[in-house]
Structure 1
């Protein structure tokens, strides 16, 4: 029966990613937010349905899965469903290390952004944030979201890789190679190499053909393969090479190798291949 279906579903957590105060996913069918403010920026995408809201006493609306909503800190806003089916949304609450308070006025003027690439980047970031061990990837993805938001609000053009690209890429690769197990944050790498985070990622990708978080994951998978063939247990291997836990290892290992760590390890006996 329709009356038996859940009217609200919510999940929220605080990831260990600098700049993100909270991740909030929700499905509302009849909820209406009263007027309120946040201390953080509210970056929202819709996955389904429509929402109507007022920001600084001006009403706005958004429908479907193409728009991005950006609500600045300290500015009153409300929100409500438009149809009986409600809406599904994903929010990131971002602190001022991502966007400074001085840009709030421009966000009030245009809180709904029609930007497909930005929306896709936010979706990819949410996907990374679901997995606790993918913090480096999430930090890299947030850096590009920050850059694109600044492009909307501050008219800053991204810097393209120049002649120093190879030098910066080599420096980052050496840093990642030296910290395969412990990892490194994007902000730390940028500070060590004296480069802007997104510029550093662009230089790495231009030089090596893949972003740094994928390079680091591949190096960890390679080390895991060697340890598994030496007879180490998958749970111990996960910690030894820098994965968050065994499930984190299994997810990336299967994507790279085409089979689970346990099945891969059983092939070391020289027996017939095991179907995957």
Structure 2
């Protein structure tokens, strides 16, 4: 995914990291146990619902607190994902208590396991990064923009099957990615990717009714593969494509 250098899921029963540094931002969740680490000659901790952000090229170490192990998930983000001027703020306060942010980052990890859901992961990461910038820089978030949402919807419709990335949409419409996602959700009650998925299911439904063979429907309607189509088709319409194809099925 653009902007993500590496994803790490790990359990360490006893390993202790020595002092080291990364060239990326380290966005850390600790799912079990707790981590004690030193950053800029200060002792810090990561545990529970705390979101930890460690800046690039600032040395730190890490070990399980109280001699116990830990389980963690990490997104290593390319340096340009956050402004360099925020390095000092993240050194001073690397631990963020923000349940909403924690849930979004956790969802990014879950969605990255499924290639077809990477656009949703991209949207959540964009909003998460905006939230990090606001927390670290104490800047207000610009209000949602209905015109940006409507323009984005038109762009999504024009690229329904091939799709368009959030980065490309942002470049074309001259709005920040997170601003587009927030504006769209405020205007339509769903994220851009959720809208695209719902419209692709609608297209798949029409293709099935028109007699297209099921193996070709997924690609013709823009889904990653057949399981991706089946999962979302059933979630939205309450039945599988094959059942829907049956003449005996009841179609709303």
What is the TM-score with the length of structure 2 in the denominator? 0.92
**1:134 is paired with a residue of what secondary structure?**
helix
Q: Which runs of 5+ in 2 are unaligned?
A: none
| Contact residue 104 and residue 124 of structure 2 kept, 8 A | yes
Match runs of 1:153-164 below 5 Å: 153-161=136-144
Q: CA deviation at 1:92?
A: 0.4
**1:133 is paired with a residue of what secondary structure?**
helix
| Contact residue 37 and residue 75 of structure 1 kept, 8 A | yes
Task: Output the CA distance in 2 between the equivalents of 1:140 and 1:241.
Answer: 21
**CA RMSD of superposed structures (Å):** 1.7
Q: CA deviation at 1:83?
A: 5.3
Decide whether aligned partners of structure 1 residues 235 and 57 sit closer, same or farther in structure 2, where only a CA change above 3 A counts: farther
Task: Output the CA distance in 2 between the equivalents of 1:71 and 1:272.
Answer: 54
Match runs of 1:122-161 below 5 Å: 122-161=105-144
Q: Which runs of 5+ in 1 are unaligned?
A: 1-16
1:50 alignment partner, one of 25, 30, 34: 34
Match runs of 1:1-276 below 5 Å: 17-64=1-48, 66-82=49-65, 86-161=69-144, 165-265=145-245, 267=246, 269=247, 271=248
Q: Give the total of aligned pairs.
A: 250
Q: CA deviation at 1:73?
A: 0.5
Task: Output the CA distance in 2 between the equivalents of 1:70 and 1:194.
Answer: 28
Task: Output the CA distance in 1 between the equivalents of 2:9 and 2:209.
Answer: 40
Of Structure 1 and Structure 2, which has the larger fraction of its residues in helix?
Answer: 2
| Contact residue 127 and residue 181 of structure 2 kept, 8 A | no
What is the TM-score with the length of structure 1 in the denominator? 0.85
